[in-house]
Structure 1
Amino acid sequence: MTTPDPATSPDNAVKTYRYLRLAMPTLVVMLFAAIAIEWGATGRRCLQESISAYYYTPAQGVFVGVLVAIGVCLVSIKGSTDLEDVLLNTAGIFAPIVAFVPTPKPGSCRSVPEPLLDTAAGVSNNVGALLVMGTVALVVAALVFRREAANGQARRALGAGILVTAATIAVGAVAFFAARGPFLEYAHYVAAFAMFGPIVGVVVINARLFGEARVGPGASSMEVYRNRYTVIAVLMVAALVLMYGWSLLVGWVHAVLWIEGVLITLFAVFWSVQTAELWNTLSRGARTRR
């Protein structure tokens, strides 16, 4: 009798995906815990103007570590469609940049003096290392692409991912080496939008796929999108538009803090909901094929 190899067990693959999904809301809890501890140390009336500004506080290690870990999770998870896979990869690529290139607005609310480290030197080191890693990953992906020649769908998805990654690395490298000043000033914001934009797209795709599986073919768009994933996507967009608009009207100092907080919370809610839905399967595509 042949003993099955546990490394190739379908159950282990399902558990791996389950833990990757669970990791993201768990990491968000750790980020919020670090910010709450720092908030307690500074006093309840003293808040940074953004979550990103907590980079300049004792919460820096958790802030950077959480974003890098989330980036790895996003890239590792295979989307149910080619488009979802590209969006997950794009969000995952930009997450470390959000971490490594801090907001240029350090704020004034911290429990200890601002670190004396040279931020520009840190960005130079960290982003340089990220570009090296990205280039190596691109070469490995290209080698895998050659081996996927027999599988047309997998080849197309991988090819799209390689193109997005190559374009991101190329644009990032040019900006990093040729325009260091503007890069330090704006890269954090560009990366944040480039991370959360695709995430909203991922939520919308999940709303459509979940709705189509629930109501069946021939249903109207209204019926398809009447589900919890649509609610999450709408709340994400509404939070950004309404809170930013309110800040323009009344000069709300902590608008960015609350926008980031709500978006990150909804990000965690999305992955929690999807984890529960796909608890015993890899993806919707895998469930459909069974």
Structure 2
Amino acid sequence: MDDAALDDAARTTYRYLRVSVVALTLLLAVSLTLEVARGGERFGSISGYYYSPVRSVLVGTLMAIGPALIAIKGRPGWEDTLLDLAGMAVPLVAFVPTPRELGPEVCGPGTASCVPPEYVPAVRNNVTALLVVGALALGVAWWGARRRGRPAAIGLTAASAAWLTVAVVFVVAPHLFLRVGHYAAALVFFLLTAAVAWLAGRRAGERTDLRLMSPDRYGRAYRTIATLILVTLVFGAGVVGGARLLGLRPWFGTVFVVESVLLVLFVAFWVLQTAENWDDEAVEHCPPTAL
């Protein structure tokens, strides 16, 4: 295969990877819509539908999105590193289900919500497997990064620190991990997405001849998406946290609405990313900076 054919194949691969992120998110949205329309059990969050027929699609889409984010190489520097870290966070969102209100008779004295006991062995197995494979991947990445210099070392250091943090909490404080692991991973994922969108907004103005919009409009759109993600996260945390501090119960669908808005913003960001980078040479993004 000649160089032109290789470049075309690489470009097509990158296009399909970016499109797949959008398609997988839409798959989850459709599955959720079908379950809600069916009139099954209602949950206060998208994550809660882990305990419904949506589970396979929920876990499957998240597991596919994670490696795709790692495989897609952003602009060299922090953009690429943040994408990799976001890809590392996604499997934890899939493997650690959100706790359910089961009462102290199931969850233990003084604890009203927990991961149902019958799901705990699966979480332990899946997260352990994830940590083992993650350690192997980090080892290979460090070995391959010896010739790539400081940027690669910075990205891999951040990835290694993230892996170590998860491993320590998982081993030392398993009950805490089960209680907050899902929420922490989801929060980190959306914060990283906001950071990537903001960086993309700063760099979009440097480009020319883009599809769909001008570079300045891409920049404004990315910065708007980043801001809206942060505002949505702060709003959700404020409503839920404030209600609990006051001894009140927030509206049942608060978290579901917040997560839905975040997913819409995530899709909007990746649609714009796909359009902006449609004609890019894949070789421009090849040197990885992290996992």
Length-normalised TM-score, structure 1: 0.82
The number of residues matched between the two structures is 260
In structure 1, the residue matched to 2:58 is: 63
Deviations 1:132-189 (A, max 9, x none): 110110111122113xx2xxxx433321222122212212111111111111111111
Structure 1: gaps of 5 or more residues: 108-115, 215-222
In structure 2, the residue matched to 1:217 is: none
In structure 2, the residue matched to 1:162 is: 156
- Cα distance between partner residues in 2 of 1:283 and 1:14: 5
SS of 2:42's partner is coil
- Answer yes or no: is the 8 Å Cα contact 2:19–2:274 preserved in 1: yes
Structure 2: gaps of 5 or more residues: 103-115, 209-215, 244-248, 286-291
* 2:230 is equivalent to residue 231 of structure 1: no
In structure 2, the residue matched to 1:241 is: 234
- Cα distance between partner residues in 2 of 1:267 and 1:56: 24
In structure 1, the residue matched to 2:191 is: 197
Choose from 84, 89, 95 the match for 2:79: 84
- Cα distance between partner residues in 2 of 1:19 and 1:103: 31
Report the identity percentage: 38
Shift of residue 274, structure 1, vs aligned partner: 1.2
SS of 2:98's partner is coil
- Answer yes or no: is the 8 Å Cα contact 1:80–1:284 preserved in 2: no
- Cα distance between partner residues in 1 of 2:202 and 2:10: 25
Shift of residue 242, structure 1, vs aligned partner: 3.4
Tell me the amino acid that sits aligned with residue 37 of structure 1.
L
- Answer yes or no: is the 8 Å Cα contact 2:65–2:90 preserved in 1: yes
Tell me the amino acid that sits aligned with residue 28 of structure 1.
T
In structure 2, the residue matched to 1:171 is: 165
- Cα distance between partner residues in 2 of 1:165 and 1:232: 25
Residue correspondence of structure 1 range 106-185 to structure 2 within 5 A: 118-146=118-146, 149=147, 154-185=148-179
Length-normalised TM-score, structure 2: 0.81
Choose from 200, 208, 211 the match for 2:205: 211
